[in-house]
Structure 1
Amino acid sequence: MSGRQQRKIDNSFLEIKQAFIKWEENKEDPYIAEKEIRLLIEKISNMQTTIKKSDSHLYEENEIKLIKIKKKFILLSENLYEDVSKKYLIDITYNDLIKGNDETLLRYGVVGLLKKEKFIEQAFHKYFDNNTPDHPKDEYPLARSSKRKFVIHTGPTNSGKTYDSLVKLKNSHSGMYLAPLRLLALEIYEKLNVDGTPCALTTGDEEIEVPFSRHISCTIEKADLEHFYELVVIDESQLAGDNFRGAAWTRAILGLYAQEIHICCSLNAVTVINKLIKDCGDSIEIVINERKTPLIMEDIEFKFPRDVRAGDALIVFSRKMVLKTASALSEYNIKSSLIYGNLPPDTRRKQVSLFAEGINEVVVSTDAIGMGLNLPIKRVVLMETEKYDGDEQRILTDQEVKQIAGRAGRKGIYPVGYVNVINDKERIIQQLYKFDEELTKVYIGPTKNTILKIRIGTLKEKLMYWKSFGSKVSYIEKTDIEEQLYLLDSLNKNLETSLSEEELYRAIHIPFDYKNEKLLYKWQNYLREAASNIDEHTKPIINLNAELEDLELMYREVDLYYSFSKAYNKKIDNQWVQEKRELISEQIHFILNEGLLKEGKHCSRCLQPVPLNSAFNKCDECFQKENK
């Protein structure tokens, strides 16, 4: 046994010798060589336990070799530390770092020890403290150069907040509308053009230029802070308090270069947004709107699908449940429009149109419907009262209940809006009429200029320590940047070093579903192509005979091709993009209208599959619950 172990130790000593040569002659990244040697020393030390028991003479010889190796490692590490300390602007001495404890250095390495003792974090925090303003408003000098007027339009849903703002926007010399959703940006773009105000469109996946336009409709993340506008409308601004997307609203409020800015938000967001505007030194007017139609919770019990009627919006919280619900309705010859996150904008628009024109009797939707989409809804029915938010399955918040339920009762079409729910009615009633808790904080994200100006560390470290630095303003917090850090972690080391930090920063802010493995692979491949300086990115393969889920993915692949090409100034086949988007959208629209309707029999309560030969329209579990 000891002979075999000794041969392994001898091989490890040889590997250490080769690693030292690479390190000394700069044939390999010294950080890689350092880590390799540390791991080999640890490996030998572990095997020495066996040698010590069987051959003390061999053990002593190995220990002498190890002592020499460790001394050489400590010596070379001092040179490595000089490089690291300059890179991170760390001013302690090498001896102060290791404090005479060589074993700690051997365990962690230079960089690992600096991180363990938080010297690198302290270096970043010192840099942020000295080089970032006390308030994020001062990261936007153009906005600070002008005196802006804010008008806050607040009130419940269906109170005309956005309508009043859009009237002002249409009458302005130049203006911009900022939407929470691409579909809503598209709706306002179309509305302004139909009403005679030439308007362009910019979203993360699409740009449409309109001749002579001085107005633009955008998704909030695409807000233009570089040009002056007479008037800007920011919709659903209470989302400034959202941990994942709120930074885009805060950025717009702080950074817009405009004469007049109209903010549409819920009542519970007014105080914190008011505070943000006051910090900027701008003037504020607050307009409180009342709901245009009453909203009534029905007393009667709702049974699905027996009680479904024309004008209903049936709300569920996943794509799967949207499809199941629509399929179950089709068994009773009830035509429904479908709205959920993965649908292409053109498909969603057609589905909305079928409902608005009365061709489809009801709409089955996720909570995307709560984001200001204008639909002629008479009654909202919550088919579910819990949702998966990406981290956990949880009950709906008060604000979510109000946003969704409030879509019932469209002014000018229905004099009253109705709400019903399939379960938990008492709780939903309380949430619907409960006074909202005030938002107490808004979120900010890292600005490109701030991050790229940092003279120390990698892009990942800059973002990571920006997040850990905290905020200098009590009611402003740092947004979640998990996606950006994950994308940087997913990169091959060679690819990361072949692109500039600015190029990497652009890539990690391209909008796509990074949790989808196929899209992540496409993103990584487009980065490899960008690094190789090709003229045009590879187009995705399109198969119109694919299943619904695959077609939805194809559409997002076309979006990613377009977004990457725009971000890296590559040649874009715009005709191909438009043609494929239209073809995929048409096919998805066809499947939703014709193809998904033959999926079999479902439980009328929970929508789970029921055997076709069952005598009942409920599954066994729901039947037993009702007949206890």
Structure 2
Amino acid sequence: MSAKQQRKIEQSMIEIKHLFDKCKDAPDDEILEIEQEIREHLEKINNIQLIIKKSAPHLFRENKESLNLIEKKFIVLSESLFKGIAKKYPIKITYDEFINNKENQLLRLGILGLIHKEKLIESLFHKFFENQLPHHPKDEHPLARSISRKFIIHTGPTNSGKTFNSLIRLKEIQKGMYLAPLRLLALEVFEKLNLEGTPCTLLTGDEEIEVPFSNHISCTIEKADLKNFYDVVVIDESQLVSDSSRGGAWTRVILGLYAKEIHICCSLNAVPIIKKLIKDCNDELEININERKTPLIIEEDNFKFPKDVRAGDALIVFSRKNVLQVASVLSEYNIKSSMIYGNLPPDTRRKQVELFTLGENEVVVSTDAIGMGLNLPIKRVVLLETEKFDGNEERSLSDQEVKQILGRAGRKGLYPKGYVNSVKDKELIFEKLTKKDEEIRKVYIGPLENTILSLSFGTIKEKLSYWKTFNSKVPYIRKIELAEQLELLELLPKHLEKNLTQEQIYRAIYIPFDYNDEKLISLWLKYLGEINKSNDEFEKPLFNLKSDLEELETAYRKIDIYYSFSKSFNITYDEQWVKESRDLLSAQIHSILREQTLKNIRFCLKCNKYLSEENILELCDDCLPKK
């Protein structure tokens, strides 16, 4: 038995010798991989040593001598790696000082593992942030601090006229800006202002429409302009300061807007925390509390779908698939419906909304996008689902989501009352609707590009990761999640990470698109490759108007990425092609939604992908067993 175990030890020692030989001419990245293999062999040897210590003590002692030599050689190898790492970072400590009394940990963890455990690199980044970042993020915005600002908070329940009253003020002044949580809402205000005689430009991550003689901008909140002065700015849905993914955009504008008068529309539970932000800025504050304009009636009768559907209903589900399926069932009962969900192009959504607004479609079937202030003539809101997938898990609707969605019922001036119902969990849903909101106690901030890029050491991934772990000095301020940006950086090939500038990489990871769509990820990587090749223009994405609904939606989003990359990197693009292609795709998608009966609409049983008429079986081509 001992002889067999000894042969394993000897074989591992031979392997270790070969691995040390491979290190002689290898770059540091390869040596780090080799170092890990050496540690795995050392662990294997030490485990066997424990077995033969009693059965063959003479072999144990001989092996121990050889192991001591290997371990000394390993420590020398680690010193070489440490010196290479020290060239990339401003490390002041020497190798001997660093590993003093930590040799066993070094052998177990490796040099990178020990550096990580001792937080050597992390402390360098944190020291930089400690020196560079002000105590309060408000002081990252000197223009805003140079003037006296007045805030007017408009608060109250949904349908209480918060945004309406703010927009009246916006139209009265010379230069203003409206900030929306969604591009569809930015588009709605853009159209409203222009229709009512106030020239306004539209600016979102996917679209820009300049209107001649315009001094007003309607834009998504991430596109807010903090460099130029505005007379009045309106910030909508400002309770989203507490959103761990996007809340940083709201906090940034509240702290940093260079504007004389700022109107904040928010739910009641967000007022105290927003007051705290404004107080920290030493700005003036006025609060207007609005009451709901139409009463909200909770229906006692159970709702049965589709029998109880009536004109003016908004039927709420939480996925594109379910929107289409509900519309399909309604069409079988000769009930015309408009459809609203996240993947629809803006123009298609606008046309769908218009059909419902004009009464040509009797009902609207929507995801919770409807809860973000869209102005629709809804008499009753019915929840066909009470749980949603939030990107991480399937969960029940929050109190605030229930209020935002159901609160859309009963449009002022059209319906004297609003009605709400739910197909299940009625008692729980209606309890959430009437429950007092829990006060928001924290806001989120995001990293500033200048701060991240000013760091003279580290990769973009390291800079963002360590910025995230550097605790805010203000107790109620938290750091936003950066999962999507860090995941994109994980996907970045090493040659692109090496060749592209950090500014280029930083811009790319903040280009808006669905990071869960593999086709869009592939296009994102392709365009980064074209930047690396210094191409004069990005290759246009191809599309086929005869494709199915899902492919058409994806094609539209590919054009969005083509546009966004071109604008972000200041590269010439075919503006006419973008407009014509978007119009064609929007028209085709709208045609499918409007004219197709949607009867017998089917989805793959395995992956839920839309099935075209050519798919006879209940599985899509990708999920069919290969012969």
Global fold match (TM > 0.5): yes
- Please tell me whether the aligned partners of residues 84 and 111 of structure 1 are also in contact (alpha carbons under 8 angstroms): no
Aligned partner of residue 153 in structure 1, secondary structure:
strand
Q: Please state how far the C-alpha of 1:338 moved relative to its aligned partner.
A: 0.3
Residue number in structure 2 paired with 1:359 = 360
Q: Please state how far the C-alpha of 1:109 moved relative to its aligned partner.
A: 2.9
Provide closer, same or farther for how the CA distance between residues 35 and 99 of structure 1 changes in structure 2, counting only shifts above 3 A: farther
Post-superposition Cα deviations, 1:402-431, rounded to whole Å, max 9, x if no partner, equal 111111111111111111111222222221
Provide closer, same or farther for how the CA distance between residues 293 and 50 of structure 1 changes in structure 2, counting only shifts above 3 A: closer
- 1:588-603 equivalence runs, <5 A: 588-595=589-596, 597-599=598-600
- Please tell me whether the aligned partners of residues 35 and 110 of structure 2 are also in contact (alpha carbons under 8 angstroms): no
- Please tell me whether the aligned partners of residues 12 and 41 of structure 2 are also in contact (alpha carbons under 8 angstroms): no
Counterpart of 2:31, as a letter, is: A
Residue number in structure 2 paired with 1:304 = 305
Counterpart of 1:534, as a letter, is: N
- Please tell me whether the aligned partners of residues 173 and 214 of structure 1 are also in contact (alpha carbons under 8 angstroms): yes
Residue number in structure 2 paired with 1:416 = 417
Residue number in structure 1 paired with 2:320 = 319
Structure 1: gaps spanning 5 or more residues: 23-27, 603-628
Residue number in structure 1 paired with 2:44 = 46
Partners of 1:99 and 1:601 in 2: how far apart? 66
- Please tell me whether the aligned partners of residues 331 and 601 of structure 1 are also in contact (alpha carbons under 8 angstroms): no
Aligned partner of residue 20 in structure 1, secondary structure:
coil
For these two proteins, the number of residue pairs brought into alignment is 596
Residue number in structure 2 paired with 1:269 = 270
Aligned partner of residue 467 in structure 1, secondary structure:
helix
Residue number in structure 1 paired with 2:257 = 256
Residue number in structure 2 paired with 1:618 = none
Aligned partner of residue 291 in structure 1, secondary structure:
coil
Counterpart of 1:298, as a letter, is: E
- 1:26-425 equivalence runs, <5 A: 28=27, 30-40=28-38, 42-43=40-41, 46=44, 67-68=68-69, 70-85=71-86, 87-425=88-426
Partners of 1:56 and 1:564 in 2: how far apart? 67
Q: Which moved more, 1:377-386 or 1:450-459?
A: 450-459
Residue number in structure 2 paired with 1:519 = 520
Q: Please state how far the C-alpha of 1:101 moved relative to its aligned partner.
A: 4.1
Q: Please state how far the C-alpha of 1:44 moved relative to its aligned partner.
A: 6.7
Post-superposition Cα deviations, 1:64-86, rounded to whole Å, max 9, x if no partner, equal 77655543442343344244346
Post-superposition Cα deviations, 1:147-205, rounded to whole Å, max 9, x if no partner, equal 11111111111111111111111111101100011011011111111111111111011
1:16 pairs with 2:14? no
Counterpart of 1:42, as a letter, is: E
Partners of 2:132 and 2:510 in 1: how far apart? 23
1:504 pairs with 2:505? yes
Provide closer, same or farther for how the CA distance between residues 61 and 182 of structure 1 changes in structure 2, counting only shifts above 3 A: same
- Please tell me whether the aligned partners of residues 170 and 232 of structure 2 are also in contact (alpha carbons under 8 angstroms): yes
Provide closer, same or farther for how the CA distance between residues 50 and 117 of structure 1 changes in structure 2, counting only shifts above 3 A: closer
Provide closer, same or farther for how the CA distance between residues 385 and 31 of structure 1 changes in structure 2, counting only shifts above 3 A: same
Provide closer, same or farther for how the CA distance between residues 10 and 501 of structure 1 changes in structure 2, counting only shifts above 3 A: same
Residue number in structure 2 paired with 1:624 = none
Partners of 1:422 and 1:74 in 2: how far apart? 67
Partners of 1:212 and 1:441 in 2: how far apart? 40
Q: Please state how far the C-alpha of 1:12 moved relative to its aligned partner.
A: 5.3
Q: Give the structure-2-normalised TM-score.
A: 0.90
Provide closer, same or farther for how the CA distance between residues 428 and 58 of structure 1 changes in structure 2, counting only shifts above 3 A: closer
- Please tell me whether the aligned partners of residues 234 and 262 of structure 1 are also in contact (alpha carbons under 8 angstroms): yes
Q: Which moved more, 1:232-241 or 1:495-504?
A: 495-504
Q: Please state how far the C-alpha of 1:512 moved relative to its aligned partner.
A: 0.9
Counterpart of 2:308, as a letter, is: D
Q: Please state how far the C-alpha of 1:326 moved relative to its aligned partner.
A: 0.6
Post-superposition Cα deviations, 1:294-347, rounded to whole Å, max 9, x if no partner, equal 111122221111111111111111111111111111110000000011111111
Q: Please state how far the C-alpha of 1:63 moved relative to its aligned partner.
A: 7.4
- Please tell me whether the aligned partners of residues 248 and 444 of structure 1 are also in contact (alpha carbons under 8 angstroms): yes
Provide closer, same or farther for how the CA distance between residues 443 and 61 of structure 1 changes in structure 2, counting only shifts above 3 A: same
Residue number in structure 1 paired with 2:620 = none
Residue number in structure 1 paired with 2:545 = 544
Q: Which moved more, 1:427-436 or 1:198-207?
A: 427-436
Partners of 1:557 and 1:224 in 2: how far apart? 26
Q: Please state how far the C-alpha of 1:362 moved relative to its aligned partner.
A: 0.3
- Please tell me whether the aligned partners of residues 312 and 377 of structure 2 are also in contact (alpha carbons under 8 angstroms): yes
Residue number in structure 2 paired with 1:455 = 456
Q: Please state how far the C-alpha of 1:144 moved relative to its aligned partner.
A: 0.9
Partners of 1:18 and 1:428 in 2: how far apart? 65
Partners of 2:46 and 2:268 in 1: how far apart? 70
Q: Which moved more, 1:287-296 or 1:420-429?
A: 420-429
Counterpart of 1:84, as a letter, is: I
Counterpart of 2:144, as a letter, is: A
Residue number in structure 2 paired with 1:626 = none
Partners of 2:178 and 2:42 in 1: how far apart? 65
- Please tell me whether the aligned partners of residues 38 and 106 of structure 1 are also in contact (alpha carbons under 8 angstroms): no
Partners of 1:559 and 1:548 in 2: how far apart? 17
Provide closer, same or farther for how the CA distance between residues 62 and 557 of structure 1 changes in structure 2, counting only shifts above 3 A: farther
Aligned partner of residue 598 in structure 1, secondary structure:
coil
Post-superposition Cα deviations, 1:499-546, rounded to whole Å, max 9, x if no partner, equal 111111111111111111111121111111111111111211201111
Aligned partner of residue 579 in structure 1, secondary structure:
helix
Percent identity over paired residues:
61
Structure 2: gaps spanning 5 or more residues: 604-627
Post-superposition Cα deviations, 1:97-154, rounded to whole Å, max 9, x if no partner, equal 2224434323333232111122222222222222211101011111111111111111
Aligned partner of residue 270 in structure 1, secondary structure:
helix
Q: Please state how far the C-alpha of 1:242 moved relative to its aligned partner.
A: 0.9
Partners of 2:463 and 2:173 in 1: how far apart? 41
Partners of 2:126 and 2:217 in 1: how far apart? 39
Partners of 1:111 and 1:47 in 2: how far apart? 22
Provide closer, same or farther for how the CA distance between residues 172 and 13 of structure 1 changes in structure 2, counting only shifts above 3 A: same
Residue number in structure 2 paired with 1:608 = none
Q: Please state how far the C-alpha of 1:578 moved relative to its aligned partner.
A: 1.0
Q: Please state how far the C-alpha of 1:461 moved relative to its aligned partner.
A: 1.3
Residue number in structure 2 paired with 1:606 = none
- Please tell me whether the aligned partners of residues 325 and 601 of structure 2 are also in contact (alpha carbons under 8 angstroms): no
Aligned partner of residue 523 in structure 2, secondary structure:
helix
Partners of 1:452 and 1:308 in 2: how far apart? 55
Provide closer, same or farther for how the CA distance between residues 596 and 472 of structure 1 changes in structure 2, counting only shifts above 3 A: farther
Provide closer, same or farther for how the CA distance between residues 576 and 299 of structure 1 changes in structure 2, counting only shifts above 3 A: same
Provide closer, same or farther for how the CA distance between residues 68 and 9 of structure 1 changes in structure 2, counting only shifts above 3 A: closer
Partners of 1:263 and 1:201 in 2: how far apart? 20
Counterpart of 1:294, as a letter, is: P
Aligned partner of residue 21 in structure 1, secondary structure:
coil
Q: Give the structure-1-normalised TM-score.
A: 0.90
- Please tell me whether the aligned partners of residues 39 and 110 of structure 2 are also in contact (alpha carbons under 8 angstroms): no
